Homo-oligomer: A and B are copies of this chain.
């Protein structure tokens, strides 16, 4: 099926783009992924971030340490639960992702303007279902093992 092929190529290109961006910013790939999640979903708990990335808690601890050192995100105390940290994107982090966005968005330049809204809706659906498929696999693994 051609759409599957095209989607595979798009994901590979996205991963390639991310790697180049990470190199340019002297960040690792995980840091740029975390930044993307913070940008689109707002503040996140560490374990929440870990779920999105597929990381365990100790890896998230190390990742958030790196984000703090780079001034991209910071830990804020949870208002009611003192065990938790809230990972919050800094203004500097926002400026970094905004700058990246200026390059990123050019990949949509050749999409006809009037088909952009439909495309956005379709991509959103596909993204949701792709994540759902992945989660189905992990759930299956958890059951059998």
A interface with B by C-beta (< 8 Å):
1-21, 23-24, 33, 36-37, 39-40, 52-54, 101, 103-111, 115-138, 141
Contacts and interface: CB of A to CB of B under 8 A. Distances in A.
Q: Give the 4 A-B residue pairs with the shortest CB-CB distance, closest first.
A: A11-B14, A6-B123, A107-B130, A107-B129
A20 B130 CA distance: 11
Nearest to A128: B13
Contact of A137 (B10, B36, B103, B130): B103
A20 B131 CA distance: 10
A2 B101 CA distance: 12
Contacts of A101: 4
A8 B107 CA distance: 11
A110 to B, nearest CB: 5
B10 A123 contact: yes
A52 B12 CA distance: 9
B129 A3 contact: no
Contacts of A126: 10, 13, 107-108, 110-111
